[in-house]
Structure formats: C-alpha cells, structure tokens
Amino acid sequence: MQRATARTGEWLSAHRRWLSATFVTGLAGFGITAFGIAPLAPDAADLPQRVVVERIDMPGLDAQFEALAEHELQLSRSDLTRLGDTADTLLRRLGVNDPEAASFMRGNSIARRVLEGRAGKMIRVQADEAGRLRELSARYPAERSEQFSTHFTRLTIARRDDGLHADVETVPLEASVRLGSGTIASSLYAATDESRIPDGVASQLAEIFSADVDFHRELRRGDTFSVVYETLTADGEPITWNQAAGRVLAAEFVNAGRKHTAVWFRDAQGKGGYFDDTGRSKRRAFLASPMEFSRVTSGFAMRLHPILQTWRRHLGVDYAAPTGTPVRSVGDGTVTFAGWQNGYGNVIKIAHGNERETTYAHLSRIDVKRGQRIEQGQRIGAVGATGWATGPHLHFEFRVRGEHQDPLRIARSAETVVLDAAASQQFAALLPGIKAQLEAARSIEGAMGE
C-alpha cells in the first residue's frame, strides 16, 4: 500500500505542469460560460491561478478483510427429491454435511414426509460455511385433493436455539406472468421444450389454434410462436407437479407465413374466452379434435385397411393414444347411442342439431348415457382398442345429414361469436398492452440466439 501511495505522489510531481494546464483550461471554460450569462464579469485570463497538490491516503485492505470475516456466510441450494433418496443422499447432494440433520429427518414424524410419497418435491436448503443445516424447505402438492390446483404444502425443517424443529402448512399458490417464444423444427412439443415452456402451455396452444392450424398435417419447419402465459409459483419458484395449471393469456402463431393471434378476454359478465385481434372469438361451434393433443394415424382419405388389407376410403379420423386417454365431445349435443356396436366396439354417438352427428369408437370406457345432454369439451369416455382395432386409438367421425365430412373442415367453417359494442371497447383498450407483451415475447428467442 505504501508503494502505491509513493507511486501516486511521484505521478503527481511528474505531471504537475499538465495538471496546471488542465486546471487553467477548466477555469477558462467557466469564464467563457460566465461571460455569456453576465458580460460584465472579469476576464478569466486575469483571474489568479493556483496549483493544488494533495496527498491521497488509500484505505487499507486489512480492515475490509476483517469486515468480510465477521460476515456470516449463508449458502443456499435447490433440487428435487429423487426415487430412492435417503436423508443422507439428499443432504449430500445439496451440499449439506450434517449427521444431526440427517438423523432428525429419519426420526421426526413430520420431517420424514420430505422423503415419503412421490418423488419430485421441490427442496431448498440453507447451510453455513461448514455445511451445517440452517433450514430445509420442501414444497409439494397440497395433501387435500380439492386444494391441488390452488395450494401447496410447505414443510420446513429449521435450526433454532434449542435444536431442529419441523413444521408443515398449506399455502396458496401465486400466479406470475411469463413470456416465451420458439421456432418449429420438428414438432410443437419439441419447440416448447427447447424454449422451456411447460407442456400444459403447449397443449393450450394446440387447442387455441386448432381451428386455424392442423398441427398433425400443416405444421411447417420454421413456423414460429410467441406466448404470454401464467405460471403458478410456490415461494416464487414455478411448480413442477402441475404443468397445465397456468393459463395462456395471449399467443401468436405464424404458420406458413400466415399469422394467427389469440387473446384471453373476460367480459363484464365474467365469461372468458379467446379472441383474435379483431375481436372475433376463437371458440367455434365444434372443436377440431376430440382429444387435447394426439397423433393422427389415419386421416379423412383413402387408406389401406389394417385388417381387411384393401384400399378403401377412410370416412373418419384415427387418433393414436394410450388406453385410458380422455375423449371429449367436440360440441354441445345429446347422446343418441352409448354402448357396443359391432366393429366399432364401445361407441358413443352425439347429435348436435341441424342434422349433425359425431361418433367416437373403440373406447375402453363409456362415461355417458343415452339421452344425456353434453357440453363442448366434456369428457365422455376414454381411448381403447375394442371392436375391430389393431391397437389403442380413437376412431372419430362427423356426419352432416348422414354424409361423412372432414372434421377439420367442419370445425374451421363452424360459426363463431363476435363481441358486442361494449365488450369491443374494453377489448380494444386491452389490445395495445397485449401486443406489447407479445412483441417482448418474440424478442426472447432472438436474444437467446445471440
């Protein structure tokens, strides 16, 4: 430090003339400015000049090191519990070296719940510089099923003056808004995974734009999407156990150069839905698919029959999905048939008015009865392989006046709802902010690419 001070003095002595000139220049500039404001002020050149040289004492580092040493370090780390974890392996993975804490987790009835039940609990620990546990916080789904989507369980193990203590409580989840964007390389889910967007949001995107884009046949490499969505958090961290919990608030999808927009809007009566940027509802009389998302194995076209091995026109759409996957009604209507029917196996037929009827075949389970009134999106059964089926899938048909029709074409041409005058004004006021959020979401992918 003394050497640094000496060098400073030498530099000041060596550059004394330069400092004098700089000081004079500064005074001259001041004089010119003053003259512009007050012309009667004296000329700056006539002002006395003085060079000031001051020794600067630099503070010592020892005092700073002592202050840092007095500061108590607190280390934190997060992870998820894994199948087969023990108290020792979990704490070791989190950087905690505390046999007392491990013993407490094995012996205390509340603390043991950290490792009981399903894996995937969100864990955050705080430890001192020696690795001794100060606090462990575990967050996982609410233990009461009716609170699963609104609350979470927080289990805390904390060290106090008299030792370790464990407490458990049920806490409301909090919602926060997040932005995301991506480019399609192979599939929507692959793109959202790459952008770290939850699967539940990807499913909503496919649902929202299902009448605009056939995600089975029309998706193109290079298509882009931007999304503004809610995510539920537990103590500020996005939850890992309910990926479908957050609602999409706004989204944009560009397919083959054509842009589609959707905005979540709730009117004065509290009824919410998705609308495009002109105020036209994205909800149509019929959904494009009887399942949230699945793979089309046979479309509305000619095909080689898998059992008869002959080419014939396929009068419906087949969706591959595991047995038990929920099946929903594509529109409001009344069940006209629910039971077994030859090659269809377990089948449900629903009349939707105006001589329109849908058929859902090869079901493993039927959850409705004949004559029952059904709403759009309501679960009516589950995917199976009953009847003439080579594997689990759903066979879906749409008929108009007894003639088979392409379900996607029907969904796209179905009538939509337009906002009334009052709601349109509210929507118009909301739209600029939404567009700004989507613009910010679009910039995320570009920033990540850079």
Please identify, among 241, 258, 284, the residue that sits at the C-terminal boundary of a domain.
Answer: 284
Tens digit of each residue's pLDDT, the chain (450 residues):
444 444 545 544 544 444 444 444 443 343 333 333 334 445 656 667 777 777 777 666 777 667 666 666 667 899 999 999 999 999 999 999 999 999 999 999 999 999 998 899 999 999 998 899 999 999 999 888 778 778 999 999 999 999 999 999 999 988 889 999 999 999 898 999 899 888 888 888 988 998 788 787 788 999 999 999 988 888 888 887 765 457 899 999 999 999 999 999 987 777 788 999 988 888 877 887 888 755 444 443 444 444 444 444 557 888 888 899 899 999 899 999 999 998 899 999 999 998 999 999 999 999 999 999 999 889 999 999 999 888 898 999 999 998 888 877 776 666 666 787 888 889 999 999 999 999 999 887 655 444
Give the pLDDT confidence score for residue 45 in this predicted structure.
63
Domain count, the chain: 4
Q: 129 and 116, same structural domain?
A: yes
The 3-class secondary structure across 25-42, one letter per residue, is HHHHHHHHHHHHHCCCCC
Please identify, among 257, 284, 311, the residue that sits at the C-terminal boundary of a domain.
Answer: 284
Please identify, among 109, 140, 172, the residue that sits at the C-terminal boundary of a domain.
Answer: 172
Q: 305 and 240, same structural domain?
A: no
Q: 39 and 124, same structural domain?
A: no
Give the pLDDT confidence score for residue 52 in this predicted structure.
75
Q: Tell me the β-bridge partners of 84.
A: none
Within-domain flag for 343: yes
Give the pLDDT confidence score for residue 320 in this predicted structure.
82
Within-domain flag for 380: yes
Choose among 168, 181, 179: nearest CA to 108: 168
Within-domain flag for 58: no
Q: 181 and 114, same structural domain?
A: no
* Cβ within 8 Å of residue 169, ≥6 positions away: 153, 154
Give the pLDDT confidence score for residue 59 in this predicted structure.
67
Q: 209 and 154, same structural domain?
A: no
Q: Is 193 exposed, middle or buried (0-12, 13-18, 19+ CB in 10 A)?
A: middle
Give the pLDDT confidence score for residue 313 in this predicted structure.
54
Q: 372 and 266, same structural domain?
A: no
CA atoms within 13 A on the CB side of 307: 6
Given strand 122-127, what is the order of strands in its sheet? Answer: 75-80, 122-127, 133-141, 151-160, 163-172
Q: Judge contact between 121 and 132, C-beta under 8 A.
A: no
Give the pLDDT confidence score for residue 17 in this predicted structure.
46
Q: 399 and 308, same structural domain?
A: yes
Q: 268 and 329, same structural domain?
A: no
Q: What are the E-state strand segments in 194-301?
A: 224-234, 237-238, 248-255, 258-266, 272-275, 280-284, 295-298
Q: Is the torsion defined by CA of 62, 64, 67, 69 positive or negative?
A: negative
Quickly tell me which residue has 């503070």 as its tokens.
Answer: 59
* Cβ within 8 Å of residue 56, ≥6 positions away: 5, 8
Give the pLDDT confidence score for residue 26 in this predicted structure.
43
Q: 382 and 303, same structural domain?
A: yes
Q: Judge contact between 76 and 131, C-beta under 8 A.
A: no
Could you tell me the CATH number of the domain that includes residue 254? 3.10.450.350
Q: Judge contact between 287 and 376, C-beta under 8 A.
A: yes
Structural domain including 243 reads 175-284
Within-domain flag for 438: no
Q: Judge contact between 326 and 432, C-beta under 8 A.
A: no
Give the pLDDT confidence score for residue 55 in this predicted structure.
74
Within-domain flag for 443: no
Q: 273 and 316, same structural domain?
A: no
Chain centroid to CA 56: 55
Cα Dmax for the chain: 113
Quickly tell me which residue has 């080419």 as its tokens.
Answer: 311
Within-domain flag for 54: no
Could you tell me the CATH number of the domain that includes residue 406? 2.70.70.10
CA atoms within 13 A on the CB side of 226: 19
Give the tokens for residue 42. Answer: 């004296």
CA distance 360 to 380: 9
Q: 322 and 273, same structural domain?
A: no
Q: Is the torsion defined by CA of 303, 309, 312, 318 positive or negative?
A: negative
Q: Judge contact between 75 and 136, C-beta under 8 A.
A: no
Give the tokens for residue 26. Answer: 């500064």
* Cβ within 8 Å of residue 193, ≥6 positions away: 199
Q: 328 and 361, same structural domain?
A: yes
Q: Judge contact between 47 and 31, C-beta under 8 A.
A: yes
Q: Judge contact between 442 and 435, C-beta under 8 A.
A: no
Q: Judge contact between 256 and 279, C-beta under 8 A.
A: no
User: DSSP for 397-448?
Assistant: EEEETTEEE-HHHHHHHS-EEE--HHHHHHHHHHHHHHHHHHHHHHHHHHHH
